[in-house]
Structure 1
């Protein structure tokens, strides 16, 4: 019994440790601070003092990210999610707020989209490489948080708020935007308006001819997830949600799918005429829905 008390006695109050480690990191000793954050947090976790462990890891992740140490910050963020899982912490506003605060501290450094002929190729390559590293680090952190939220009382596919965070960071920081992957998170998010605005912004930047594809993909993703029962926030909207909720100040670029003849009403009429002609309209198969 004495031994147990002695082991717990060496654990200083977490706020003292947080202040000490923050000074070490802010002095530029990032590697030393990182190892201390990890070892001290592990000792609190071993003593099953998960609350204090989370406080230390959250502080460490934010301090490292604010100092531009993205890899270190993401690593501590992943450890925080790991301890949320070990401690069986529920998905509630208090625990989600830890994720929110770390997410907000990830650097936002827009990558230039138009490169001039006289630009330094090596510098541009470094800029793009750093942007990819930021997106990968933030994605790893948020995907781990999504898994925790799905396994500990959240929605089946993970917290809609976390899906939206992942989509937003990828859109703002990725030098090579993959709209297909982003759409999968936006459609599971809790903001149809942001989904619509992101879609229109992408249509304005994509290659000619891809704008209609972007709309069709968004509608089909929405339809497939609706059939699978994986959307809640969108449940009061139909599959044309990304189109009909746009503000009037944000016009949709013209194209075959956005013409008046392709409105939901006219498409419904066409479908009826197709059925009368004996054609068969298929819905996405279970395999397709699961893959989405």
Structure 2
């Protein structure tokens, strides 16, 4: 970065520290456009990143998100590749998101006004994450998109706790952070009936698997589901219930989907075997399971018989339980 740009950023930061947030925002944008006009793209990009992080660190969500959105727009218009460096800049902005309760000096959390303000803060942050993820995926950087989902899911969980888990879930299922996901999932499960802990895990696994939107994402979602299952069981202890057995058989069938033509039959038999005692526990399980079947096997319900290694494996597992 040119020394003149560094001095400019230091001066603008002084304005932010003095509480002149709007004036600082205009200065950031002016400096960005000047650098870009001079073909100094790296300086322009650095200005946007530092400006966004600085504004967010002072609770100025709208200002920070605006600069972050301009950064993604610049990436798009200049055909910037979604490499490690460009994704890292966006991750730095996401990691700087302020807790909803203090963003912009909003009303204290707990009051009606505070709750409304918290929702507005999260909405602003979500808008930037959605745009950044879309850009990364369009550039073919699935790993980068996952890392951004992970960062935002962790932010939502840390900021909102169990009340925000539903919103964090849509990012957790597309993330690469199985440990934090499992910890959040286990924490929520512990607040409910002990008999439903296994149901929390099965629902989450199906949501992860159902999020596989393309052939290229199936392997990643399946690996994520397996990692979440393993991490969850490390927290809860071994689960020995029909629901946990069904979850394990489901993962086994999907892990063999690309290796054996009998994998689909195994999937179907597991569904039939546990239809009454597992799938009827929650009406959302059936539709999610069908979506998983279509996504991984590219077929609707069909007939098939198990045999060979997979058949023996299924038989031994079901007889043991």
**Coarse TM-score class (shorter-chain normalised):** 0.7 to 0.9
1:284 maps to: 290
Shift of the 228–150 alpha-carbon distance from structure 1 to 2, 3 Å rule, reads closer
More helix by share: 2
User: Using a 3 Å threshold, how does the CA distance of structure 1 residues 274 and 257 change in structure 2: closer, same or farther?
Assistant: closer
Q: Is the 8 A contact 2:209 2:222 kept in 1?
A: no
In 2, Cα distance between equivalents of 1:131 and 1:288: 38
Cα pair distance change 1:110/1:16, threshold 3 Å: closer
Give the superposed CA RMSD: 4.0
Q: How does 1:108-123 map to 2 (within 5 A)?
A: 108=99
1:60-209 mapped onto 2 (5 Å cutoff):
60-108=51-99, 124-155=111-142, 159-174=145-160, 176-177=163-164, 179=166, 181-205=167-191
Residues 184-212 of structure 1: CA deviation (Å, up to 9, x unaligned): 32222112222222211222346898756
Is there any run of 5+ residues in structure 2 with no aligned partner, and where? Answer: 254-265, 274-285, 296-321
| Conservation of the 8 A alpha-carbon contact between 1:131 and 1:174 | no
TM-score w.r.t. length of structure 2: 0.66
TM-score if structure 1 supplies the norm length? 0.72
How many angstroms apart in 2 are the aligned matches of 1:141 and 1:227?
A: 22
1:272 aligns with 2:259: no
Residue 123 (structure 1) shift: 5.9
| In structure 1, C-alpha distance between the alignment counterparts of 2:247 and 2:126, rounded to whole Å | 36
Mapped to 2, the partners of 1:42 and 1:88 lie a distance apart of 17
Provide Cα deviations, 1:110-168, integer angstroms capped at 9, x if missing partner: 79xxxxxxxx999622332232222122211221111121122312x962101111211
Tell me: higher relative CO, structure 1 or 2? Use CA pairs within 8 A at least 6 residues apart: 1
Alignment of 1:219-234 (within 5 A): 219-226=205-212, 228-229=214-215, 230-234=217-221
Residue-pair matches, total: 263
